[in-house]
Amino acid sequence: MELPAWMPIIFYAVVIMVFIGVFSWTHLEANSEQKHFSILVFLTAFMLVNDFLSRMYIYPEFPTWIVVICTYINFLVLPAIGIGWYWFVRSVLTAEQRYSALSINAAILIIASIGFVALLTNPFTHAVFAFDSTGLYHRGPLFFFPAGSTFLCIIIAEVYIIRRVRNLGRDMFVSMLIFPVPPLVGGIVAMLVYGIPWMPLGIAFSMVILYATLQDSSMGMDFLTGLHNRA
């Protein structure tokens, strides 16, 4: 069974995400933003694995039920990453450790709820996605809702970043500001070049950039006092 060229890239991206998630959870400072970042990385790795499995429909011998379940999970994890990014930004900017879903903008909840209802009814309506008699995947008319809720969360988080730029260092500000760019470009390319997971790979790329910035900032900070060290 010959694999498409993009599948090994997904495998390496998952390995990198798992490594970053484990390392950031165990080695970086045990504060709120670092833990939120680690959870965000693990969610990205989980999404990449599910995306990999959901695209195995190209092989008729692969169990269809696994493909269907992983596709549903993908559409649920994608908004979770957007909300996770929102929480991460809030933790960096406000240093708060408790959050409630009620703090998320009402527009996010509305569009996410519509996407969730669309997923629940999808087996009957095929509004989000469908598989034809040959097992091939097709997008539905509400396909954009999960991705739309994700980017809505990210956009609102970006507004927080811009409004509170003085709370961030230059490198952190730039890394957080450009975070949505690779996924957004990937999403646009995915609409033009069907069948390749551009957006998940874009999210993974953004995670790598942010991780490098977090690690660099932690090297110049004293673990106990939170003050800048001699480095």
Split at pLDDT 50, 70, 90, the class of 68 is confident
CB crowding 13-42: b at 16 or more within 10 Å, else e? bbebbbebbeebbeebbebbbbbbbbbbbb
Split at pLDDT 50, 70, 90, the class of 100 is very low
pLDDT for the residue 14: 92
**Of all helices (H) and strands (E), which one includes residue 73?**
helix 64-94
Across the chain, what does the average pLDDT equal? Answer: 78
Using DSSP, state whether 70 is helix, strand or coil.
helix
Which residue would you say has higher pLDDT here, 84 or 1? 84
Check whether 98 has a pLDDT greater than 60. Answer: no
Split at pLDDT 50, 70, 90, the class of 42 is very high
C-alpha pair distances (Å), 45 with each of 38, 39, 50, 83, 97:
11, 10, 9, 16, 24
| Cα gap 139→171, rounded to integer Å | 38
Split at pLDDT 50, 70, 90, the class of 207 is very high
Q: Find the Cα–Cα–Cα–Cα dihedral 172, 177, 182, 185, rounded to 10°.
A: -170
Whether residue 143 contacts residue 187, with contact meaning beta carbons closer than 8 Å, is answered with no
- Residues above pLDDT 90, as percent of the chain: 9
Whether residue 56 contacts residue 66, with contact meaning beta carbons closer than 8 Å, is answered with yes
Which residue would you say has higher pLDDT here, 211 or 97? 211
| Cα gap 170→211, rounded to integer Å | 15
Split at pLDDT 50, 70, 90, the class of 154 is confident
pLDDT for the residue 139: 79
